[in-house]
Amino acid sequence: MANIEKNDEVRNEEITEINDSDVSLNGDATAVKGKKKSLGTKIKELFSFVKAHWNKPPEGKYLSFKEIASYCVGGMGVHGGMVLITYVTLGYGFYIAVSLGFNNTQIMLTGIITSIITILRSPLISMIVDNVQTKMGKFRHWLIWLAAPIVVCFILLGWVPIYINDMIARLVVFIIIFNVLQFLLGIYTLSYTTLVQVISPLESERTQLMSIGAFIYSLGPSITTMLFPLIANFAFSYGVDGSGINHINSYKYVLPAIALAFFALGILAAVGTKERTVLSAKNKNKVKFSEGIKSTFKNKFFWLLNLSASLAVLKMIVTAKQVWVYTYMLQNNYAQTIFTAVLGFANVPGMLLAPLLIKKIGKKKLVILSNFLIGIFAIPLFFIVSIPGPAAAYLIILIFFFMTAVNAVQVVTLPAMTAQMYDYQQYKTGTRIEGFLSQFGAIIGAAAGIGVAFIEPGIFKHFNYDAADKEALYNRDLLNPLLMSLTGLSIASAVASAIPIFFWNLTEKRHSDIMEILAVRAKHEEGKISDEVANDLIERLENGESGIAKVFFDEMFLEESELSESRKAEIESFEEELMAAQEQMSEDSEKEELDANETGAVKNDTVETDEVEADANENDIDNEKE
């Protein structure tokens, strides 16, 4: 591999020269005053750059701007549709639970049954996702196939249970439809969230897309959470059976219409993107159930992420009660529309700054810092809730804003760490099992959900609160201690969830090296490189020598038309180096074999000579005896 090593040194020298040249140019630019580009010029150049790379990725990247736009805009539909499940999930004192007249016990029972069903259905989802592949790949087709069935389930939830008078039968029917919806959404959600983790072989490009994508597709939930309450409160704020968003007509007409629009838009994320998994074309990636379970349980990072997620299940529980603040403290139907948008904006800085913060301190430290800050910001709520008048409501919303803002970085960091976990699994076993890893994570989450399902009702029972009583929370003597108790749960959950992340040792550099090792393995499986070259490259990557096999990504994921001349030249140069190295290794192997043969022949001649001499000596001895 002397040729490859020599050319690597040459490349490093060239990069150093280019960097020195950049420094010189920057210095000249600083020296020349008054020649800064205007904002209009920068916008024009940006537009030209996007136009030039609309169908063709920029240098060193794998995503065109068209693909980025498809993922992000389609993601608005996916996430805008997915958030609708919030309104049909039974909650204490709001949404469809009020419309259908379910009490505390029925709500708690539904939550427990759903968690048990989640545990039972997860292995099935694992097998489906990991073993059903089409020409589109492993994930994208589900965004097309499941859109219509999901919308039908939303329609059924609004139209069927309400006409069943017997409350037990009504609850049973609701649980059946709701869990079918949950099953479909489980596959649908997994498909979109995992798509970003295989859309590019470069972790930096994935992280940037997660950041930009999260900012853009978060507009979907923001629109949903503004539009649905606005229309529902405007159209159905009458009658004794519920008002506005709690009126059953909101779930008959408004919710299905919004679902249809958003899930239709989500199809764009499937048709406008590609999956770029670092696997050999010969690898069919079929997973047996027993193998999937065994591999999942051996993944250290699977346990760390899911333990953290389980401990974090209550960290934002107090912010989830923002609807109480709007309805019972401000007593304004339109406050939810306004302040939901404000809290939605709180996610923006964290999501956009996440890639920069990851580059500065790494994902591990950022997640730990984020969780600790959530706990710190929540502490003032203990004192604020007791302030009389509407001032308390506005201060609580401000606290919720800061808690949401610091939590927002995890919209980027946690999917990025999940992607690392998936790639590490492939590195260790040679197989990708996103379905098993995600769904067994869901089982752990569901088990944790069952464990905490009794906590919130227990608090409500302690303070004698019944969700069926629509007027109860207007009493601040009841509402205030409830919010304080939930604040304590948020703080404890946030701090506890940070602890497992201290043991995360998969760094950004190590993950980058793993991705290159996977590329080398794929090329070796396809017969493109010899055993000797593959072993040599892998050994160098394992020893921390990064960037020596990234050219394989270009060969695997870019079409001829997407390659710039410099990238083509780099690929050709690298292929020539590989051929030369393979020829050299082949010659060395032949020489070693020849030397071994010659050594063997000499040994054989020596043995034969010794045998002849021994025979002659024996004959001489025999003659002397005679």
The secondary structure element, H or E, covering residue 420 is helix 410-429
pLDDT given at position 24: 38
Q: Evaluate whether 210 touches 244 at the Cβ level (below 8 Å).
A: no
Residue for token pair 């760490």: 417
Q: What is the 3-state secondary structure (H, E, C) of 64-96?
A: CHHHHHHHHHHHHHHHHHHCCHHHHCCECCECH
Q: How far, in Å, CA of 449 to CA of 351, rounded?
A: 27
Residue for token pair 């529902």: 232
Amino acid at 433: I
pLDDT given at position 177: 95
pLDDT given at position 26: 39
Joined together, the tokens standing for residue 44 give 């024009």
Joined together, the tokens standing for residue 283 give 């690898």
Q: Evaluate whether 407 touches 370 at the Cβ level (below 8 Å).
A: yes
| Extents of the domains making up the chain | 57-270+287-506, 508-583
Joined together, the tokens standing for residue 53 give 């790379």
Q: Evaluate whether 367 touches 498 at the Cβ level (below 8 Å).
A: yes
pLDDT given at position 614: 55
Q: Which residues pair with 92 in a beta bridge?
A: none
Query: What does the CA dihedral 338, 253, 215, 354 come to, rounded to 10 degrees?
Result: 90
pLDDT given at position 484: 93
Name the pTM for this structure. 0.72
Joined together, the tokens standing for residue 591 give 């020489």
Residue for token pair 């219409």: 257
Q: Which CATH number does 57-270+287-506 carry? A: 1.20.1250.20
Q: Evaluate whether 246 touches 95 at the Cβ level (below 8 Å).
A: yes
Q: How far, in Å, CA of 501 to CA of 512, rounded?
A: 20
Phi, psi of 91 (to 5 degrees): -125, 160
Residue 284 per-residue DSSP state? -
pLDDT given at position 101: 87
Q: How far, in Å, CA of 313 to CA of 301, rounded?
A: 18
Question: Residues near 438 by Cβ (< 8 Å), separated by ≥ 6?
Answer: 126, 129, 190, 194, 418
Mean pLDDT by 10 residues, the chain (626 residues): 45 40 39 60 87 88 92 94 91 80 87 86 86 88 96 95 93 94 93 90 88 86 87 74 76 94 96 88 73 88 94 90 84 76 83 89 94 95 88 91 93 89 90 85 80 82 80 86 93 95 92 90 84 86 86 80 72 72 65 63 56 57 54
Joined together, the tokens standing for residue 116 give 């048990």
CA angle 567, 571, 577 (to 5 degrees): 145
